[in-house]
Amino acid sequence: MRGLSISQRGPSLRVQAASARWIAAALAMTLAAWLAAVAGLLAIANRVHDDVPALLAIKLPLLQSRPELIFAGESRTVYQVDPNLAARLIGRPPGTVVNIAYDAGEPLALLSAIRRQPDRFRQARVVVSVAPFLFNEGVRSAAVYPQDVAARLGVAGQMRSFLPLRVGTLIRFIREAFGARLAADQHVADLGPAPTALGLNIIDRTQPDDRWPDKIGSHAHYADWDLSGPKSRFEIGALCDMVALVRKLDVVVPPWAPRYDRASDPAWRDKDDQYAALVADAGRRCGFAVINIQSIPGLEQGNYADEMHVNASGVPIYTSYLVSRLKR
Amino acid sequence: MLFSSYTFLFQFLPATVLAFAAARRHSPRAGIMVLVGASLFFYGAWRPVYLLLFAASVAVNFALGLRMEDPLRRRGIGTFGVALNLAWLCYFKYTNFIFDSLNTLTGAPLPFVNIILPLGISFFTFQQIAYLVDVMRGARVERDIVSYTLFVSFFPHLIAGPLVHHAEMIPQFKRGRTGRSAVLAARGLAIFAAGLFKKVVIADNLAQFVSPVFAHLDAGGGVTTPWAWLATLAYTLQIYFDFSGYSDMAIGLALLFGIRLPVNFRSPYQATSIIEFWRRWHITLSRFLRDYLYIPLGGNRLGEQRRYVNLLVTMLLGGLWHGAGWNFLVWGGLHGIYLSINHLWRGWRGSKPEVSMAGLVVKGACWAITFFAVVVAWVFFRAKTAAGAWQMLEGLFGAEAGSSAYASPGILRLMDLPMLVGEQRLLLIGGGAVALALAMALCLPNVPQLFRYREYRRAPERAAWVRWRPNAAWALLSALALAISLFGMWQRLEFLYFQF
């Protein structure tokens, strides 16, 4: 490293060149040190990671009422299924139906929660919603990459999969791992307060016109379409493993906003059919029912807050339709 | 756009450095133009509409300066300009404070006005007031709008200082020399890394022992004595590492473009008197208050009594400069009293500085008294309500034993990664962190010393026992500081001085 040292007395050009070398070396070492630190942090995060994330843990106190019907899964259950209404529709008292779904929720996390509290699920019918990002390996964004799948990749796999452009996904994984460990150490799932409205959250505003995607085929959930990676393997495996642990398992494929027409977007239709087929095939093999909802009578564009979530006006329509499908 | 944000570090800064380097190859003037464009973009990125206000402030003051070339109109226009700037600052910063105070005093139902404080308004307004006052006093009028705009808007100092002086900035923009740009850039990078580390790793990690406690007190709660001391000492160090870290980053960034900013901190907590503290803390503000407030008020030329009045007025206004609130006024008033007592003491003991006369024990006692006084004053600076400040003082001196339920339930956040450690252990860890940070503030050379930094047309800083050199070992240290800081940046805590 002698070449890095700068003699201040040397000719100006030499000093300039040596300074430029020093800057380059410092930046290169920063990169190396950062990579080493990322690897170290990932190793720690993998150790502290808990398959039940904090977002799911805060919903698990709802299970203390020993519900008969549990809605779980990702955001389209969080914001679309009203457990109170569902209980009324099936003629059961409030509290017998709960919503434990969370944003970007994944089957692996739910499976882990079931294994931790098997008696709370054994007599319950569990309805899990799924979305393309859970199976499409091409979706690597920080916001929706399934954390439990990331934890199963190992440090080398994580760095290979997400560096350099998807570093945000690794950062989220590290943060979520510590958050999940904290929730576990604090026994949030057992001792925490139950969330309001039995787990339903409502989106009370509609996104501006310029935010609606033109086509769903080019939506981020369908980017770099690949159903053959670890996501599919682990998440489908989790759905299959759940079957033996609950009274009945239903997997729901919820619809997109009605403004999007499958017929005029063949790229979307083909990919969507592939993912629905993947889930349906697993359902046949493992013994769970699949409810593939492409549209809902009465659920119109005005009921949608964005391309995939209904607003407050759409909640009763979606809930009623879903319950009617469960009754069949 | 925070200096410690990914957008700044990985998009804005590289783009600006590359554009500047390319433009400088064409001509130094082109480089300056790039810096003006980048600085205006930097300011506009916060709220584009406020860029218009900022541009208006620059344009009006520049035009006033030009009109002051006429000696007959100089004083009148200058006075008008200063009044205009003060009115501008008053409107944005003090309207609600004045209304609120009048409400309290008279019961008049004055409304709350929804005013968004433009970023850095206190800094760029004061810099332009100094310019107008100097022109009134006979300084040369700046006729180049580009250089003037860059003097006010240069992005490293734009939002939170250092408060720069036109005479130390504008001449640098007009030099054609580029001979040592890489040498300066290497030093700038290392200084920036040190500043980023101070802010992101030290100050932001100390914040967890401060914010919940003061929030609890401001909401009317009580505090136990150990937590009161931990929170107050942690804040004492947080604000130092936060603000001096920001100033170091500003100095380092400016060096990347071959520009030298003034030093803002020289190990203030090593001071053994309040007078010395103010020569080391926020030096550019002290310089401004001295040159444009204390001395015009008469300084120490009008007798002893008037000197203390001037000191008190200067520090009260200095406190008010930090924020529109009674707490800032109390903080400034306390420091005014401290300074007066210190001057009285010196007058009584003779003019020799106490350090040279005293032994180690006396020096230690002087340091302890100074540090204690500064710490107590910070309570008023940090608390958002007078009641909160008093509650904290009661907690510090054991007058009232509160609960500790306000503290996060035993959760330590290391670079914002949460860990459950339990409350007792959290208190111990907090104490250890404060002790370590205090040791760093007291025992390590400050950044200007470490890098033998040279202000514009000044001699380099006094050499310290450890000194930066552009070699492999320091490259590695800088790299580690940068790499660790990059992880801390996900906390996204704002610089404390942004609010001023």
What is the per-residue pLDDT across B58-70, written as a single tens digit (0 to 9) for each?
Answer: 999 999 999 998 8
Phi/psi for B159 (5° steps) reads -90, -40
Both tokens assigned to B58? 């620059």
Question: What's the pLDDT score for residue A2?
Answer: 43
| B61-117: pLDDT as tens digits | 999 999 998 888 899 999 999 999 999 888 988 888 888 888 888 877 777 778 888
- Its sign, for the CA torsion B453, B455, B456, B460, is negative
Residues of B within 8 A of A27 (CB-CB) are 189, 479
What pLDDT is attached to residue B174? 86
- For residue B404, CA distances in Å to A260, B206, B228, B401, B414 come to 55, 18, 10, 9, 21
Closest chain B C-alpha to A98 CA, distance in angstroms: 29
Query: Are the Cβ atoms of B409 and A171 closer than 8 angstroms?
Result: no
Percent of chain A with pLDDT over 70: 97
Average pLDDT, chain A: 92
Q: With CB atoms and an 8 Å threshold, state whether A179 touches B418.
A: yes
Contact across the interface for B418 and A178, Cβ inside 8 Å: yes
Reduced to 3 states, what is the DSSP secondary structure of residue B135?
helix
Instruction: Classify residue A125 as left (phi > 0), alpha (psi -120 to 50) or beta.
Output: beta
In this predicted structure, the answer to whether residue B350 has a pLDDT above a threshold of 80 is: no
Per-residue confidence band for A5, with pLDDT thresholds at 50, 70 and 90 = very low
Give me the pLDDT at residue B348, please: 84
Distance of CA A171 to the CA centre of its chain: 16
Q: From its phi and psi, is residue A298 left (phi > 0), alpha (psi between -120 and 50) or beta?
A: left
Triad B281, B282, B283: Cα angle to 5°: 90
d(CA B25, CA B198): 34
Count how many pairs of residues, chain A against chain B, have C-beta atoms within 8 Å. 95
Q: Which of A173, A147, A110, A115 is nearest to A231 (CA)?
A: A147
The pLDDT of residue B176:
66
Is there a contact between B64 and B134 (Cβ–Cβ < 8 Å)? no
Decide if pLDDT at A115 tops 70. yes
Q: So what's the pLDDT on residue A214?
A: 87
Q: Which of A328, A221, A198, A196 is nearest to A274 (CA)?
A: A221
Of A237-241, B26-30, B461-465, the one with minimum mean pLDDT is: B461-465
Going from the C-alpha of A172 to that of each of A104, B166, B490, the distances in angstroms are 13, 45, 10
CA B475 to chain CA centroid, nearest Å: 28
CA B421 to chain centre: 34
What pLDDT was estimated at residue B405?
Answer: 59
CB–CB contact A33 B479 (8 Å): yes
> Is B480–A12 a contact, with Cβ atoms under 8 angstroms apart?
no
Q: Give the bridge partners for A97, in sequence order.
A: A69
Say yes or no: A186 contacts chain B, CB-CB below 8 A.
yes
Q: What is the pTM of this model?
A: 0.87
Spell out where chain A has E strands.
69-72, 97-99, 125-129, 248-253, 289-292
Q: Does residue A192 belong to the interface with chain B, where contact is any CB pair within 8 Å?
A: no
Report whether pLDDT(B488) > 90.
no
CB-nearest partner of A26 from B189, B416, B487: B189
| Beta carbons of A1 and B409 less than 8 Å apart | no
Residues of A in contact with B482 (CB under 8 A): 26, 30, 33-34
Summarised one tens digit per residue, pLDDT across range B112-138 is: 778 888 888 888 999 999 999 999 998
Q: B354 or A19, which is more confident?
A: A19
Measure in Å the smallest separation between the Cα of A182 and chain B Cα atoms.
6
Residues of A with Cβ-Cβ distance to B410 under 8 angstroms:
none
Q: How confident is the model at residue A1 (pLDDT cuts 50, 70, 90)?
A: very low
Neighbouring C-beta atoms of residue A261, cutoff 10 Å: 12
What pLDDT does B371 receive? Answer: 97
What is the pLDDT, as a whole number, of residue A6? 45
Strand partners of residue A69: A97, A125
Which residue shows structure tokens 């369908």? A222
Test B186 with A30 for CB contact under 8 angstroms: no
The answer on pLDDT for B357 being more than 60 is: no
B487 touches chain A (CB under 8 A): yes
Cα(A147)–Cα(A115) distance, integer angstroms: 18
Question: Mean per-residue pLDDT for A118-142?
Answer: 94
Measured between beta carbons, the chain B residues lying within 8 angstroms of A181 are 419
Is it the case that residue B175 has pLDDT exceeding 90?
no
Per-residue pLDDT at B493 exceeds 60: no
pLDDT band at B180 (very low <50, low <70, confident <90, very high): low
For tokens 């404070």, name the residue.
B97
Q: What distance in Å separates residue A294's CA from the closest CA in chain B?
A: 39
pLDDT at residue number B499: 54
Q: Indicate if B157 belongs to the active site.
A: no
- Pick from B233, B34, B68, B70: which is nearest to B136 by CA? B68
Q: Report the gap between the CA of B273 and the closest CA in chain A (Å).
A: 38
Diameter over CA atoms, chain A: 90
What DSSP line would sit under B313-347, residue for residue? Answer: HHHHHHHHHH-SSHHHHHHHHHHHHHHHHHHHHHH
> Are the Cβ atoms of A19 and B470 closer than 8 angstroms?
yes
Q: Between chains, do B475 and A20 touch, taking CB under 8 Å as contact?
A: no
> Could you give the CA distance from residue B383 to residue B374 in angstroms, rounded to a whole number?
15
Residue A179 forms contact with B (CB below 8 Å): yes
Q: Which of A224-228, A268-272, B220-224 has the lowest mean pLDDT?
A: B220-224
B359 touches chain A (CB under 8 A): no
Q: Give contacts of B478 with chain A, Cβ < 8 Å.
A: 26, 29-30
Four-CA torsion A311, A317, A318, A321, nearest 10 degrees: 180
- Is it the case that residue B387 has pLDDT exceeding 70? yes
Q: Tens digit of pLDDT for each residue in B469-482? A: 889 999 999 999 99
Q: What is the pLDDT of residue A133?
A: 94
Residue A277 main-chain phi, psi, to 5 deg = -65, -40
Query: What would the DSSP string read from start to end of B250-291?
Result: HHHHHHHTT-PPPP--S-GGG-SSHHHHHHHSSHHHHHHHII
Q: Which phi-psi region, left, alpha or beta, contains residue A222 (left: φ > 0; alpha: ψ -120 to 50)?
A: alpha
Scanning every residue of chain A, which has its alpha carbon at the shortest distance from the alpha carbon of B181? A16
The amino acid sitting at A288 is F
Residue A5 CB contacts under 8 Å (≥ 6 apart), including other chains: A18, B469, B470, B471, B472
User: Among B328, B437, B327, which residue's Cα sits nearest to residue B391?
Assistant: B327
Residue B373 has pLDDT above 50, yes or no: yes
Dig out the tokens for B50 from the structure.
């406020």
The H or E element containing residue B163 is none
Mean pLDDT on A256-283: 92
**Mean pLDDT value across residues B314-320:** 92
pLDDT surpassing 70 at residue A50? yes
* Nearest residue in chain A measured CA to CA from B471: A5
Give pLDDT, residue B115. 80
Cβ–Cβ of A171/B490 closer than 8 Å? yes
Stretch A66-80: mean pLDDT: 96
pLDDT at B100: 82
CB contact under 8 A, A6 and B490: no
Residue in A243, A278, A4 with CA at minimum distance from that of residue A126 = A243
Q: Could you say which of B166, B216, B322, B335 is catalytic?
A: B322
For testing contact with chain B, the best of A19, A166, A188 (most B CBs within 10 A): A19
- Res. A7: pLDDT tops 50: no
Enumerate the residues of chain A whose CB falls inside 8 A of the CB of residue B409. Answer: 186
pLDDT in tens, A277-293: 999 999 999 999 999 99
CB-CB under 8 Å, B411 with A16: no
Q: Is the dihedral of CA A290, A294, A299, A304 positive or negative?
A: positive
Smallest Cα–Cα separation from B133: which of B261, B288, B264, B263? Answer: B288
B187, B411, B478: best to mutate for the A interface, most A CBs within 10 A:
B478
In this prediction, residues B251-274 reach a mean pLDDT of 94
Instruction: Give me the residues of A, 14-33, that contact B with CB < 8 A.
Output: 15-20, 22-23, 25-30, 32-33
**Whether the predicted pLDDT of B179 surpasses 70:** no
| Cα–Cα distance for residue pair B431/B413, rounded to 1 Å | 14
pLDDT level of residue A301 (50, 70, 90 thresholds): very high
Chain B CA closest to residue A174: B417
Q: Is A137 exposed, middle or buried (0-12, 13-18, 19+ CB in 10 A)?
A: middle
Q: What phi-psi label fits residue B30: left (phi over 0), alpha (psi between -120 and 50 degrees) or beta? A: alpha
B185, A23: Cβ pair inside 8 Å?
yes
CB A299 within 8 A of CB A258: yes
| Nearest-neighbour CA in chain A from B184: distance (Å) | 8
**Nearest beta carbon to residue A178 from set B419, B472, B478:** B419
Do B130 and B290 touch, CB atoms closer than 8 A? Answer: no
For B168, the enclosing helix (H) or strand (E) is helix B166-173
